[in-house]
Amino acid sequence: MDIACHTSVADNHTPKIESTRYLPFPAALLFLENLIGKRERGGELAMALIQTYLQQYPAAATGFTQFLPSPSSHFSARISIKFTVSCCSMSSPVTVVNGNVDVKSTERNEIRLGLPSKGRMASDTLDLLKDCQLSVRQLNPRQYVADIPQLSNVEVWFQRPKDIVRKLVSGDLDLGIVGLDTLSEYGQGNEDLILVHDALAYGDCRLSLAIPKYGIFEKINSVKELMEMPQWTAEKPLRVATGFTYLGPKFLKENGLRHVVFSTADGALEAAPAMGIADAIVDLVSSGTTLKENNLKEIEGGVLLESQAVLVASKKSLLQRKGLLDITHEILERFEAHLRALGQFTVVANMRGSSAEEVAERILSQPSLSGLQGPTVSPVFRKSDSGVKADYYAIVICVPKKLLYKSVQQLRAIGGSGVLVSPLTYIFDEETPRWRQLLSKLGL
């Protein structure tokens, strides 16, 4: 395999310097992965990556040393780096420009589903699949690949959520489950990413702007008031700490704040204002308890995004990958049927009546007994001295959990007896609306 590294650097003193060198595969691949993994685009970061790379692989120095500044010199670089990878097993090149990947994926027959590899999101995702009779079979807990016996030709790949999004864009994955916040931050509106299911009912949180309760922010209760504070100038901008370096700046720009600077951090953001390194934070909030314990508050208009787990797919893969549409349809139907049944109960009771219509009228007179489309009423045949008679009717209805006891009371009030209650596992519609929406997005 050959990897050509084409590097173009321009600084304050040199208009443009270019070079192309063929690098050993392990070295170039490591450099490529490191570059893609970074969200910053500054020249200093790029130079640091190159220097780190050269420390590990000095043999490649001839391709870069002509660009590197001396330790004492001031260097402000604009750098673009392209890697072109060609291999006998690949029909098309892979190009990376400033960390953005344009990939025509290798030919493969398997359908790839990306799942979160760690944490609460990972365990909740596996629980959802199990509840939908889709058991993930992982032979070794240290392996990052598994399968789902109920879905033929599907590989499961355990990845970090942000890498799931990136690999959907690159074509290395076809389907993935991530939080909407992760999809929005790392997908950045990419038109190839299609939401298949936007509400999987776990991983609920919100991406929110929070400020201190004290000091100059004590009486600030809305984003509008924050923007109108006279303190923010070009010399002293609002300092915001966040791990969401796409959504955060986008939100504040849309709200008209001109003087703002962002610092990046991955954890413990709530401590940043108290430490004096930020005026505000943009972070994920679940209950809000951590914010309160650190004397921070959310403000009106400060919610950037309401998030939960979503099923997302590559549009290109859906249109081109053989069998993917059918697999997506099955997964979607299983998810929809299970989620619709959550909190629903089947109620069965016997009622005396002169006819099925008369019993149905009594049932429908009660507001909690209408069911999904109406009650099922069928005769109960009893043995008598004169033969078989049907003066009782069995009724079956579906009621939500919050109305369960009220429904039982209403059934008793109109003559119901022998009431049986059982939880529902699945409710399959004639066709799920989300499937029709997906076909529409695909132009099918």
Span of 103-107, 284-288, 375-379, 390-394 with lowest mean pLDDT: 103-107
Asked whether the beta carbons of 209 and 251 are under 8 A apart, the reply is: yes
Percent of the chain scored above 90 by pLDDT? 61
Domain-located, residue 435: no
* 394-408 tens-digit pLDDT: 999 999 999 999 999
pLDDT at position 371 is: 78
Whole domain around residue 118: which residue ranges? 111-203+309-340
pLDDT at position 29 is: 45
Q: Write down the mean pLDDT value for the chain.
A: 81
Per-residue burial over 401-429, b if 16 or more Cβ lie within 10 Å, else e, is eeebeebbebbeebebeeeeeeebebeee
Which amino acid, 357? E
pLDDT at position 56 is: 53
CA distance 439 to 318: 10
Confidence of residue 370 (pLDDT cuts 50, 70, 90): confident
CA distance 239 to 277: 8
Same domain, 126 and 146: yes
Same domain, 324 and 406: no
pLDDT at position 77 is: 40
* 246-292 tens-digit pLDDT: 999 999 999 988 899 999 887 789 999 999 999 999 999 999 999 99
pLDDT at position 15 is: 39
Count of C-beta atoms within a 10 Å radius of residue 171: 22
Residue 217 has pLDDT above 80, yes or no: yes
The H or E element containing residue 132 is none
Residue 28 has pLDDT above 80, yes or no: no
Locate 161 and state its tokens: 């959520």
Domain-located, residue 429: no
Residues 6+ apart with CB under 8 A from 88: none
Domain-located, residue 433: no
What is the per-residue DSSP string for 153-214? TEEEEEE-HHHHHHHHHHTS-SEEEEEHHHHHHHHTT-TTEEEEES--S-S-EEEEEEEESS
Instruction: List the CATH number of the domain containing 390.
Output: 3.30.70.120
Chain Cα centroid distance, residue 20: 38
> For helices 324-341 and 119-131, what crossing angle results, to 10°?
90
Asked whether the beta carbons of 215 and 276 are under 8 A apart, the reply is: no
Residues 6+ apart with CB under 8 A from 55: none
Instruction: List the CATH number of the domain containing 335.
Output: 3.40.190.10
Percent of the chain scored above 70 by pLDDT? 76
Asked whether the beta carbons of 244 and 282 are under 8 A apart, the reply is: yes
Chain Cα centroid distance, residue 266: 18
Same domain, 214 and 300: yes
Listed residue (137, 142, 245, 125) closest to 176, CA to CA: 125
Residue 186 has pLDDT above 90, yes or no: yes
**Most confident stretch, 135-149, 196-210, 357-371, 422-436:** 196-210
Domain-located, residue 441: no
Domain-located, residue 414: yes
Listed residue (183, 303, 313) closest to 251, CA to CA: 303
pLDDT at position 22 is: 43
Same domain, 86 and 119: no
Locate 210 and state its tokens: 């929070």
Domain-located, residue 431: no
Confidence of residue 430 (pLDDT cuts 50, 70, 90): confident
Residue 204 has pLDDT above 70, yes or no: yes
CA distance 253 to 244: 14
* 82-102 tens-digit pLDDT: 444 333 333 334 444 334 445
256 vs 226, 232, 244, 259, 353, CA distance in Å?
11, 12, 18, 9, 68
Domain-located, residue 440: no
- Enumerate helices (H) and strands (E) in the chain, giving the number of each: 14, 20
Give the residue, 79 or 413, on which the prediction is more confident.
413
Listed residue (250, 252, 307) closest to 279, CA to CA: 252
Same domain, 244 and 270: yes
* pLDDT (mean) for 220-227: 95
How many structural domains is the chain composed of?
A: 4
* 294-336 tens-digit pLDDT: 999 999 999 999 999 999 999 999 999 999 999 999 999 999 9
Same domain, 296 and 216: yes
Domain-located, residue 33: yes
Please measure the distance between the N-terminal and C-terminal CA atoms of the chain and give it in whole angstroms.
39
Q: Domain ends where: 296, 318, 340?
A: 340
Residues 6+ apart with CB under 8 A from 397: 346, 347, 363, 369, 370, 371, 375, 376, 407
Same domain, 183 and 211: no
Same domain, 226 and 365: no
Same domain, 196 and 333: yes
Asked whether the beta carbons of 3 and 20 are under 8 A apart, the reply is: no
Residue 388 has pLDDT above 90, yes or no: no
Same domain, 241 and 376: no
Residues 6+ apart with CB under 8 A from 395: 348, 349, 350, 351, 359, 363, 375, 376, 377, 411, 416
* pLDDT (mean) for 176-193: 96
* 34-87 tens-digit pLDDT: 444 444 444 444 555 555 555 555 554 444 444 444 444 443 344 444 444 333
Span of 149-158, 216-225, 427-436 with lowest mean pLDDT: 427-436
Same domain, 41 and 66: yes
Same domain, 115 and 196: yes
